[in-house]
Chain A
Amino acid sequence: KQEVTQIPAALSVPEGENLVLNCSFTDSAIYNLQWFRQDPGKGLTSLLLIQSSQREQTSGRLNASLDKSSGRSTLYIAASQPGDSATYLCAGGGATNKLIFGTGTLLAVQP
């Protein structure tokens, strides 16, 4: 059964800092790992999707990596901005073909 954990639960950084968000999963038969952001009162916005055969994906200031052997994924945000403030969720799909979400990391970027 896939379980997804995100640490830390909350993070506050000054503007301009580079930061890393962590995601751990238990089912190594993961078919993809997705990162989303959620703004208050809104739905989720897809940021990056890493297929099981890939090691990383990049989009602008965002870089996500996937290490199936250790059951870990990281989301790297370069030169953080106040507009990056949101809750970041990772989700992994495993053998049951269900997408399992982590509990999220609440990020606050201070101007």
Chain B
Amino acid sequence: KAGVTQTPRYLIKTRGQQVTLSCSPISGHRSVSWYQQTPGQGLQFLFEYFSETQRNKGNFPGRFSGRQFSNSRSEMNVSTLELGDSALYLCASSLDLVSYNSPLHFGNGTRLTVT
């Protein structure tokens, strides 16, 4: 069974640009969560999608948005990039909502560098 696939693996963008990251969950998984990982703040929750609906959102500005498609694939978008957005963005999928005790399966992440 294929794992969680995130594309691209690496991105370099300039301040002010926007970026879209993609996540393909494990087949049959309906929940997709996104996390930002930085050396200073660690792993922080961005949002969780289930059945194409955002079910939960972390404390990030509105520049961070996401969506989920009918096949459970998900994208997240960051607009007006800032230097502080440089991070490893991790996507995780699970059979059910995280709060329903479904183990998370993570992709290898997208490394975003903003210059």
Chain B binds chain A: yes
Binding site for B on A (CB under 8 A): 31-32, 34, 36, 41-46, 49, 51, 89, 91, 93, 96-104
- Specify the main secondary structure of chain A where it touches its partner: strand
The verdict on B62 contacting chain A, using a C-beta distance below 8 Å, is no
Point out the residues of chain B lying under 8 angstroms from A46, CB to CB: 103-106
21 contacts between A and B (CB under 8 A): A31-B99, A42-B109, A43-B4, A43-B6, A43-B92, A43-B109, A44-B106, A89-B43, A93-B98, A96-B56, A97-B55, A97-B98, A98-B56, A98-B58, A99-B33, A99-B104, A100-B45, A101-B35, A101-B42, A101-B45, A104-B42
Cβ-defined contact, A42 with B108, below 8 A: yes
Return the contact of B90 from the options A44, A49, A97, A103 (Cβ within 8 A): A44
Point out the residues of chain B lying under 8 angstroms from A41, CB to CB: 108
The verdict on B107 contacting chain A, using a C-beta distance below 8 Å, is yes
Which of B44-58 touch A at CB < 8 Å? 44-45, 48, 55-56, 58
Cβ-defined contact, B42 with A44, below 8 A: no
> A109 → chain B, closest Cβ, in Å?
22
Looking across the interface, which residue of chain B has its beta carbon closest to that of A45?
B106
Point out the residues of chain B lying under 8 angstroms from A31, CB to CB: 99, 101
Given A31-B101, A97-B55, A97-B99, 15 more pairs with CB closer than 8 A:
A34-B103, A41-B108, A42-B108, A44-B106, A46-B103, A46-B104, A46-B105, A49-B103, A89-B43, A91-B43, A93-B98, A98-B56, A101-B42, A101-B44, A101-B45
> A90 → chain B, closest Cβ, in Å?
11
Cα A44 to Cα B107 with chains together (Å) = 8
Q: Taking A31-B101, A97-B56, A99-B98 as contacts, is the C-beta distance between A43 and B33 under 8 angstroms?
A: no
> B53 → chain A, closest Cβ, in Å?
14
> B99 → chain A, closest Cβ, in Å?
4
Cβ-defined contact, B106 with A49, below 8 A: no
Cβ-defined contact, B45 with A99, below 8 A: yes
Return the contact of B42 from the options A45, A97, A103 (Cβ within 8 A): A103
